[in-house]
A and B are shown apart, each in its own frame.
Chain A
């Protein structure tokens, strides 16, 4: 069982007042808040261990290197990968996806190739492929969605076919919260020999991930959505593929031997980590993952099911409300995207902010999706380990107040 009130006491920012109200932070899909343990791990690193890694023989450098390497081991454990050499640190999900597009993509696609994504994707899993297909003359195909925001898999056999070289799909939609049955899609992709990439930006923070079981080739997520600092993220890759892939950025730390004429690359994963990495970020990520694993990812998912169902039921009682995405909680992550009659999302966002409640409003970096579902924008409340039913009660009350405020009733 998750004790969210106790957890909340680990998060200094949650003590802050916003416009004279206790902060209620429901914008976790954008980024999560950070517990004191993570903040201290970064401060401690800079106050007592700071040095560059993988280059010095002095004590500080060895200690820093050790922490950095242990961060990778923790990440591997977190997604149940047996090999920490499959873990590449990036700036975040966006860079992880771009890395695959620019290295594996450029080397392996041609005019007969097709890339398959879904209509649910975040811009960061659309735009890199749109650019790549221009360069390689390949084709981009979409798995469509049903009206309730679940994937329409009825034509999957045609969409994923012998021309498919890559299937890149989100595990959880950031726009409307749909949880995709990625295991089935990965299996179909493997049957035709395609490579698979999972965008786990919205799932890794909230539910157990097992790359061994999924058998995906790549998996990407961001630290900042799971209690870690910004600027650190992960690309997990199938080791054999990583070894065959060309290098990404070039420079220090990623080389084996450099002469004035030519250079050879270091082994995976260092081949993909040119330059001094975000060492403090990696250490913060390690601490964040330890915090989450200590709570248990399965328990975190259970907590989110509980409060999301609670919020969903009460929201359905609001006259005229439109909730985007699936109704079944097994298909929905801890995120509710909605529209209120007579109150534009931006006005609702400003109103709730005046009550200390932070939600996201707009298109959530999924413009084509929100448009397909018939609007330009929506309001989105997304929950995490420190959110409580009491906060949801206040949220519902204030939505009702906003309708009175803006409609003069």
Chain B
């Protein structure tokens, strides 16, 4: 039993569920922004089609391929950022990414409550190799939301 528990530490039920159904699957034909990310080492891939109204992300269409953790993480991110201001998205991404990059893990309390949606991902911090699966989408969003040509 303890093995399943250990596996369950990484693959929490919410992660498995979201990996099968990431949601945000309604096509957007007139996206204002297309943000894409790829990890060529493993093939994890993500595309966010986004509608922006007065700097608010009003609509997201998510296309995601890859491992369960990456798919779930991309889905969590969508829930975190929908209906948020671009600036707020930037700062939430920063906060989330820095949680994984810091050595201590005392501070699981995020400034913006909405980030708590992504809580099931936090324990993956203990699995060095899989952190990049968690962060691909967050880094992609953070690095590209402001850029003009995407």
Contact = CB atoms under 8 A, between A and B. Distances in A.
Contacts of B43: 344, 375-377
A192 to B, nearest CB: 36
A89 interface: no
Contacts of B20: 407-408
A346 B3 contact: no
A46 B66 CA distance: 48
Contacts of A325: none
A363 B69 CA distance: 19
Nearest to A363: B41
B53 interface: no
Interface string A352-375: 001100000111000100000001
Interface of B: 2-4, 6-7, 10-11, 16, 19-20, 40-43, 66-70, 127, 130, 133
Given A344-B67, A406-B68, A408-B20, A350 B7 contact: yes
A351 interface: yes
A354 B68 contact: no
A355 B68 contact: no
A22 interface: no
User: How big is the A interface, by class?
Assistant: 20 to 34
Given A362-B42, A363-B41, A377-B42, A347 B67 contact: yes
Contacts of A59: none
Nearest to A343: B68
8 contacts: A19-B3, A344-B43, A345-B42, A350-B10, A354-B7, A363-B41, A376-B41, A407-B20
Given A344-B66, A350-B130, A351-B7, A20 B41 contact: no
Given A376-B42, A406-B16, A406-B19, A344 B68 contact: yes
Contacts of A346: 42, 67, 69, 130, 133
Nearest to A348: B67
A263 interface: no
Interface of A: 19-21, 344-347, 350-351, 354-355, 361-363, 367, 375-377, 405-408
Nearest to A361: B42
A223 to B, nearest CB: 26
B42 A408 contact: no
Nearest to B42: A377
Contact of B40 (A20, A354, A367): A367
Given A362-B42, A408-B20, A347 B7 contact: no
Contacts of B66: 344
A408 B16 contact: yes
Given A344-B42, A344-B67, A377-B42, 6 more contacts: A20-B2, A346-B67, A354-B7, A361-B42, A362-B41, A406-B16
Nearest to A351: B7
A312 B67 CA distance: 24
A375 B68 CA distance: 17
A21 B7 contact: no
A361 B41 CA distance: 10
A377 B127 CA distance: 20
Given A367-B40, A406-B16, A20 B68 contact: no
A163 B4 CA distance: 59
Nearest to B4: A354
Given A347-B67, A347-B68, A376-B42, A20 B16 contact: no
Contacts of B16: 405-406, 408
Contact of A347 (B40, B41, B69): B69
A13 B11 CA distance: 28
Contacts of A351: 7
